[in-house]
């Protein structure tokens, strides 16, 4: 197990290339199960979650090759059962349910279990499958989904906390091989959903409306192989923008889609940071301290929950009092207690963090609780006095490709130490 040591006080400058999106690559790799023909997916990030997904595809019978960010998958003969030992390591593995149901008309997948940031059930996924005339049952920790014939229907996927991204992905992947037309109401509008739809359309699917709250899928008899470039990771990009705001002079992100970052860019501009962009780059200029902000997380195109922890880290040093309200995963404030160990002044009330800005943080031993909390602690350490020791950094390797190396190339001083 590794830990990360962040030596604070070093300014960032230069440019960094953003990796492919984890949250696009995972369902796109799962979608390769929908055809017997080979598929090639490029800009696949080197992350532990990706490694687990490739293991799952191999276990199901697919032939998988990987080299330098390019993955080739041929799922000529596959099985429909994914057991607990291989699924338990990654919650997103649930996205294999849709393609297995679509191609095999049945799937048995172990439930991935709970999550430190709160309850993340798959009831909306199963509700969507029911709209396609599939049945399901849960036995001994496994969900079994079956359909004698998949037929199009209307699936309502908006839950009490908003749309479900993986649920939208799952139903879309099952529906592409169903008879007739399927309509997903209350669909997630995230760019990663659009990216999956674009890949499926390259395979011969007929999907319209991705990126809106209503997606229409006209079923086809079969899909063929395709090649695809995964979109840039907007959360990694946002994280590096916040790093630049915390400790940067001027930092430029390369291979990004600025439109995907609209809410993050606007929020950083409101905090007083000059941000400029081209079609594929975003540049932020640093300043002494940010202005206080009041942020509420929302489904896309609102401010992303996956950027909430990083913004908390930035606002610990803001001038005045800020507030951050979490509406997507209300329990997602595990990082607050660790930031307080570094001298942050934060009060939690219900689903909001009230952050009283302070000029200085101090390095301390802290514990990472989840992926984005890990990133927030690294960012806070960039500006803290002394050394911040971050334990359980396996969380950060789930979603950030070589974050320590990339930050060091910008001027940070970060060590990765074997424990």
Distance CA 125, CA 139 (A): 17
Q: Band of the pLDDT at 113, cuts 50, 70, 90?
A: low
b/e sequence 288-304, b meaning 16+ C-beta within 10 Å:
ebbebbebebebbebbb
Q: What's the pLDDT tens digit per position in 115-128?
A: 443 444 788 999 99
Distances (CA, A) of 3 to 189, 389, 392: 36, 7, 6
Residue 90's CATH number: 3.65.10.10
Domain span including residue 285: 2-18+232-418
Question: Which of 177, 221, 203, 197 is CA-nearest to residue 37?
Answer: 203
Indicate whether 338 and 248 sit together in one domain: yes
Indicate whether 9 and 50 sit together in one domain: no
pLDDT of 372: 94
Helix axes 234-247, 308-315, angle to 10 degrees: 0
Q: Band of the pLDDT at 86, cuts 50, 70, 90?
A: confident
Residue 112 clears pLDDT 70, i.e. is over it: no
The full length of the chain comes to 419
| Across 8-17, 133-142, 208-217, 234-243, least confident range | 133-142
Distance CA 291, CA 243 (A): 16
- Interval 334-354 mean pLDDT: 97
Distance CA 370, CA 393 (A): 9
Indicate whether 8 and 26 sit together in one domain: no
CB 156 within 8 A of CB 164: no
| Across 121-130, 211-220, 261-270, 405-414, least confident range | 121-130
Q: How much helix, strand and coil, in percent to the nearest 5, is found in the chain?
A: 35, 30, 35
| Tokens describing residue 417 | 């130490």
Indicate whether 343 and 394 sit together in one domain: yes
- Interval 162-191 mean pLDDT: 97
Number of CB atoms found within 10 A of residue 135's CB: 12
Indicate whether 114 and 201 sit together in one domain: yes
DSSP label at residue 182: E
Indicate whether 203 and 268 sit together in one domain: no
| Tokens describing residue 263 | 């809410």
What is 12-24 written as a DSSP string? Answer: EEEEEEPPBPHHH
The alpha carbon dihedral of 331, 333, 338, 343 has a sign of negative
Residue 177 half-sphere exposure toward CB, CA atoms < 13 A: 24
Q: What's the pLDDT tens digit per position in 277-323?
A: 999 999 999 988 999 999 999 999 999 999 999 999 999 999 999 99
Number of domains in the chain: 2
Indicate whether 158 and 196 sit together in one domain: yes
Distances (CA, A) of 280 to 18, 258, 301: 10, 7, 19
pLDDT of 116: 40
| Tokens describing residue 341 | 């160990």
pLDDT of 371: 92
Helix (H, G, I), strand (E, B) or coil at 112: coil
Domain-ending residue, one of 207, 229, 251: 229
Residue 89 clears pLDDT 90, i.e. is over it: no
The alpha carbon dihedral of 306, 231, 36, 176 has a sign of positive
Indicate whether 339 and 224 sit together in one domain: no
**Annotated active-site residue in 39, 95, 115, 312:** 115
Distance of CA 127 to the CA centre of its chain: 23
DSSP label at residue 292: P
Q: What's the pLDDT tens digit per position in 30-75?
A: 999 999 999 999 999 999 999 999 999 999 999 999 999 999 999 9
| Tokens describing residue 106 | 């049945």
Who wins on pLDDT, 157 or 119? 157
Indicate whether 289 and 253 sit together in one domain: yes
| CB proximity list for 273: less than 8 A, separation 6 or greater | 245, 284, 285, 286, 287, 290
Residue 384 clears pLDDT 50, i.e. is over it: yes
Domain-ending residue, one of 191, 209, 229: 229
| Tokens describing residue 305 | 């929950």
Q: What angle do CA 165, 147, 78 make, to 5 degrees?
A: 75
CB 64 within 8 A of CB 71: yes
Helices (H), ranges, 176-270: 191-202, 234-247, 262-270
b/e sequence 362-397, b meaning 16+ C-beta within 10 Å:
ebbebbbbbbbbbbbbbbbbbbbeebbbbbbbebbb
Indicate whether 39 and 102 sit together in one domain: yes
Domain-ending residue, one of 176, 207, 229: 229
Indicate whether 224 and 256 sit together in one domain: no
Active-site annotation holds for 115: yes
Residue 114 clears pLDDT 50, i.e. is over it: no
Indicate whether 246 and 100 sit together in one domain: no
- Sheet (strand 12-17) strand order: 12-17, 248-254, 281-285, 275-277
pLDDT of 330: 86
Average per-residue pLDDT in the chain?
A: 94
Q: Are strands 142-146 and 135-139 parallel, antiparallel or unpaired?
A: antiparallel
């Amino acid at each position: 197990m590794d830990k990360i040591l962040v030596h604070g006080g070093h300014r960032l400058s230069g440019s960094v290339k953003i990796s492919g999106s984890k949250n696009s690559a995972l369902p796109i790799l799962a979608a390769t199960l929908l055809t017997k023909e080979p598929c090639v997916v490029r800009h696949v990030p080197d992350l532990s979650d990706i490694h687990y997904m490739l293991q799952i595809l191999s276990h199901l019978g697919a032939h998988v090759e990987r080299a330098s960010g390019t993955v080739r998958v041929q799922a000529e003969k596959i099985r429909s059962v994914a057991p607990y030992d291989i699924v338990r390591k990654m919650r997103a593995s649930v996205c294999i349910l849709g393609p297995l149901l679509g191609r095999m008309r049945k799937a048995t997948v172990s439930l991935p279990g709970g999550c430190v940031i709160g309850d993340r059930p798959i009831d909306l996924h199963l509700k969507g499958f029911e709209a396609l005339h599939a049945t399901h049952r849960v036995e001994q920790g496994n969900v079994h989904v079956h359909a004698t014939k998949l037929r199009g229907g209307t699936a309502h996927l908006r839950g009490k906390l908003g749309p479900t991204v993986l649920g939208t992905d799952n139903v879309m992947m099952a529906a592409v091989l169903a008879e007739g037309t399927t309509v997903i109401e209350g669909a997630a509008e995230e760019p990663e959903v659009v990216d999956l739809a674009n890949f499926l359309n390259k395979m011969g699917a007929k999907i319209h409306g991705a990126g809106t709250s209503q997606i229409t899928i006209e079923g086809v008899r079969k899909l063929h192989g395709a090649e695809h470039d995964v979109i840039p990771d907007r959360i990694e990009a946002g994280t590096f923008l916040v790093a630049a705001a915390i400790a940067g002079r001027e930092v430029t992100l390369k291979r990004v889609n600025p439109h995907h970052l609209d809410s993050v860019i606007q929020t950083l501009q409101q905090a007083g940071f000059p941000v400029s962009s081209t079609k594929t780059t975003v540049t932020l200029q640093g300043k002494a301290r940010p202005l206080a902000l009041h942020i509420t997380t929302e489904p896309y195109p609102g401010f992303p929950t996956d950027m909430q922890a990083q913004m908390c880290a930035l606002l610990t040093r803001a001038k005045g009092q800020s507030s951050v309200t979490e509406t997507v995963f209300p329990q997602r404030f595990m990082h607050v207690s660790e930031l307080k160990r570094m001298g942050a002044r934060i009060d939690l009330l219900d689903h909001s963090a009230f952050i009283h800005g302070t000029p200085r943080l101090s390095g301390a031993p802290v514990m990472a609780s989840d992926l984005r909390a890990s990133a927030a602690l690294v960012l806070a350490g960039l500006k803290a006095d002394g050394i911040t020791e971050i334990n359980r950094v396996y969380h950060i390797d789930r979603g950030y490709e070589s974050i320590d190396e990339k930050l060091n190339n910008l001027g940070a001083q970060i060590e990765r130490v074997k424990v």
